[in-house]
Chains A and B, each alone.
Chain A
């Protein structure tokens, strides 16, 4: 990578169940103007717009991005890698700048799932139509299988899932991009209805709409701006077939092979050899507590068998590393944007611009992205220092 690249601007709408008062173009416009203003750049400086919109069916409209994101005269394309859409769009923009095709790019991720009357049915259509639809597998039962494996193989308990959900709901109270975030205790999580054992209702992410926008710039445009430098970034894809990942030599379904190797590649680029010591903050793309737990070991934040103890440290707030200071996707999960939001939140922490949720001393932050049946993984390392 010949050019250093940085995040110079971030714009986010409020994330809430449904934006009834604004159409998609209006949502995008507000976030774009905020990001450009944050970067101190005009639209004329932008050499590429990358759109991020995941399942079209969620928005109830085909190619919703063409009317709301693409801009006349500016090169444009859309990425769709499911939950990892936002981070994959980010990687594409970074590639474009690194290749010398432009000096500044806009990444725009938009989610309108609140307009889908049958969001779960849309999600269920991701599964194999011949072999799996008959058994009514859903995104929630898919997560439940993994949570059960983690409990059996690594010693996690129901209290961990409830404790992590409560931790994230507490963090969410300081996040001004959220619309009236719920505050609940671990006991309240355990008392909420079971969706698919061991997943309780208060552990599950809410439906969310919103737009997240980011301005990426080459080093010569970064100048003296307050930017978050990209120290490393990588992605990897796996097979969809979950059964094939249960006991294969590369690692089981809950060992997140793709995140392990994405992180290793990104960490190598960033010069990180001891993640638990060299990373200050992590935003994990985890719509459920068990998904967050899977990432601890994959990212090297803890040892192979010490995930539950690491979770205990986070729940009791004794762990040095800050995990999901925004509250993470458990408190707002606009699917198309969720992975980009993780990067945006890390950027704001590194830049010292995270408002009430800003944590002290964040010099290096890591954002993950997950899509499909946890088969698409991305890992991005951001830092305050020019690489």
Chain B
């Protein structure tokens, strides 16, 4: 990179069905909180990178109305319809290229106002797949089914991982309180599904030095057709993480992992993909390793396209020693955050953060 990017502040808003606030209100509050956390005045921010999706927000070109609430008023702004970690990566590229001094990055999604299972169905082939009612969580169930085919059902390990994840989420002061989950398919258990949430995440990064810097970024993608993929291998995630680690010269290892996935099964298999656990032992490792998804992962709240940026914020809070009830014991030097696109993580993003 030409100019390194430093993280100056974050804000996380995870809620459910707050009827007194519009989506625009929630975005404004989170962005304001991130700026306050960074101690950077909005006047110094010269670019905005957003992550939002029309069909999640329930209107065409959703950022047309919501972008100014994230600071995009008479500022250079771009909106991605992709996981929020991609927005963070693009913002850091803008800093690296010398295009901007400070950037606000925001991602949002309000699961309580829509039906993500229904929305995600429309991403599949309208003739050959949609009639079967396949959605995002069905892909996760297929992934788990494939894993079971390779390694056995491992119900005890899955239960241990669920218990550990739920305990972490219970300690997370930013976790959603409501317990609203999608209907999942066999062999997925209801407890392995995510808790839906209304999520807004905002962050401020800039060229001036701070306590945490972005040390590496990585991205990749894999085949669109589910049948063309090895679902348990998670090739796009594997490559994205490898690239981020290479760029971050991460030879000293990572102290905190925040790995994205709509369900516990996706998160557990991500452990195997990033080589934190041998194949078949992802659930065991999830239960045993306290530094993997200390936030509680999607048990703390999930809504596309926020997960990657939420993971980034959790990593930053850990490295800053401000993660509250889920704070890991230090010293913490490096953290890895990942983000996945729909359907089944066809596109993956990874960022390595490093305490300065």
Q: Does residue A361 face the partner (Cβ distance < 8 Å to B)? A: no
Q: With a CB–CB cut-off of 8 A, which chain A residues contact B223?
A: 72
Q: With a CB–CB cut-off of 8 A, which chain A residues contact B79?
A: 79-81, 88
Q: Does residue A197 face the partner (Cβ distance < 8 Å to B)? A: no
* Bound-state Cα–Cα, A372 to B236, Å: 33
Q: With a CB–CB cut-off of 8 A, which chain A residues contact B63?
A: 80-81, 372
Q: Does residue B250 face the partner (Cβ distance < 8 Å to A)? A: no
A126 & B60 in contact (Cβ 8 Å cutoff): yes
* Chain B: minimal CB distance from A96 (Å): 6
Q: With a CB–CB cut-off of 8 A, which chain A residues contact B54?
A: 55-57, 80
Residue of A nearest to B121 (CB): A62
A99 & B343 in contact (Cβ 8 Å cutoff): no
Q: Does residue B347 face the partner (Cβ distance < 8 Å to A)? A: yes
* Chain A: minimal CB distance from B27 (Å): 13
Q: In chain A, residues 331-354, which have Cβ atoms closer than 8 Å to a Cβ of chain B? A: none
Question: How many positions in chain B have a CB within 8 Å of any CB in the partner chain?
Answer: 60
Q: With a CB–CB cut-off of 8 A, which chain B residues contact A135?
A: none
A235 & B77 in contact (Cβ 8 Å cutoff): yes
Q: Does residue A60 face the partner (Cβ distance < 8 Å to B)? A: yes
* Bound-state Cα–Cα, A239 to B222, Å: 37
B81 & A125 in contact (Cβ 8 Å cutoff): no
Count of A-B contacts judged by CB separation below 8 Å:
174
Of B61, B217, B236, which is within 8 A of A54 by CB? B61
Q: Does residue B74 face the partner (Cβ distance < 8 Å to A)? A: yes
* Chain A: minimal CB distance from B55 (Å): 5
Q: Does residue A42 face the partner (Cβ distance < 8 Å to B)? A: no
* Chain A: minimal CB distance from B89 (Å): 8
* Chain A: minimal CB distance from B147 (Å): 21
B97 & A376 in contact (Cβ 8 Å cutoff): no
Q: Does residue B68 face the partner (Cβ distance < 8 Å to A)? A: yes
* Bound-state Cα–Cα, A99 to B207, Å: 13
B65 & A99 in contact (Cβ 8 Å cutoff): no
Q: Does residue B90 face the partner (Cβ distance < 8 Å to A)? A: yes
Residue of B nearest to A257 (CB): B74
A67 & B224 in contact (Cβ 8 Å cutoff): yes
A99 & B96 in contact (Cβ 8 Å cutoff): yes
Of B68, B78, B123, B219, which is within 8 A of A75 by CB? B219
Q: Does residue B99 face the partner (Cβ distance < 8 Å to A)? A: yes
Residue of B nearest to A234 (CB): B76
Q: Does residue A78 face the partner (Cβ distance < 8 Å to B)? A: yes
Q: A62-B123, A72-B223, A96-B93 are in contact. Are A372 and B64 (CB under 8 A)?
A: yes
Max chain B C-beta neighbours (<10 A), residue from A74, A77, A122: A77
Q: Does residue B67 face the partner (Cβ distance < 8 Å to A)? A: yes
Q: With a CB–CB cut-off of 8 A, which chain A residues contact B198?
A: none
Q: Does residue B213 face the partner (Cβ distance < 8 Å to A)? A: no
| A-contact bits for B17-56, CB 8 A (1 contact / 0 none) | 0000000000000000000000000000000100001110
Q: With a CB–CB cut-off of 8 A, which chain A residues contact B94?
A: 95, 99
Q: Does residue A33 face the partner (Cβ distance < 8 Å to B)? A: no
Residue of A nearest to B3 (CB): A99
Q: With a CB–CB cut-off of 8 A, which chain A residues contact B239?
A: 73
B1 & A73 in contact (Cβ 8 Å cutoff): no
B347 & A77 in contact (Cβ 8 Å cutoff): yes
B78 & A79 in contact (Cβ 8 Å cutoff): yes
B55 & A56 in contact (Cβ 8 Å cutoff): yes
Q: Does residue B119 face the partner (Cβ distance < 8 Å to A)? A: yes
Q: With a CB–CB cut-off of 8 A, which chain A residues contact B68?
A: 237, 239-240
A70 & B73 in contact (Cβ 8 Å cutoff): no
| A-contact bits for B238-275, CB 8 A (1 contact / 0 none) | 01100000000000000000000000000000000000
* Chain A: minimal CB distance from B110 (Å): 13
Q: In chain B, residues 93-124, which have Cβ atoms closer than 8 Å to a Cβ of chain A? A: 93-94, 96-99, 119-123
* Bound-state Cα–Cα, A278 to B19, Å: 55
| A-contact bits for B316-344, CB 8 A (1 contact / 0 none) | 00000000000000000000000001110
Q: Does residue A136 face the partner (Cβ distance < 8 Å to B)? A: no
Query: What are 19 pairs between A and B in contact, CB < 8 Å?
Result: A2-B97, A56-B60, A62-B123, A63-B343, A70-B346, A73-B221, A79-B81, A80-B61, A88-B79, A92-B78, A99-B93, A99-B97, A100-B2, A101-B93, A125-B59, A126-B61, A235-B77, A235-B78, A237-B75
- Extra contacts, 9 of them, besides A70-B224, A88-B79 (Cβ < 8 A), are A1-B99, A56-B55, A66-B341, A72-B221, A72-B235, A82-B61, A101-B96, A237-B76, A372-B63
- B residues near A (Cβ < 8 Å) are 1-2, 48, 53-55, 59-61, 63-65, 67-68, 72-82, 86, 90, 92-94, 96-99, 119-123, 125-126, 217-225, 235-236, 239-240, 341-343, 346-347, 349
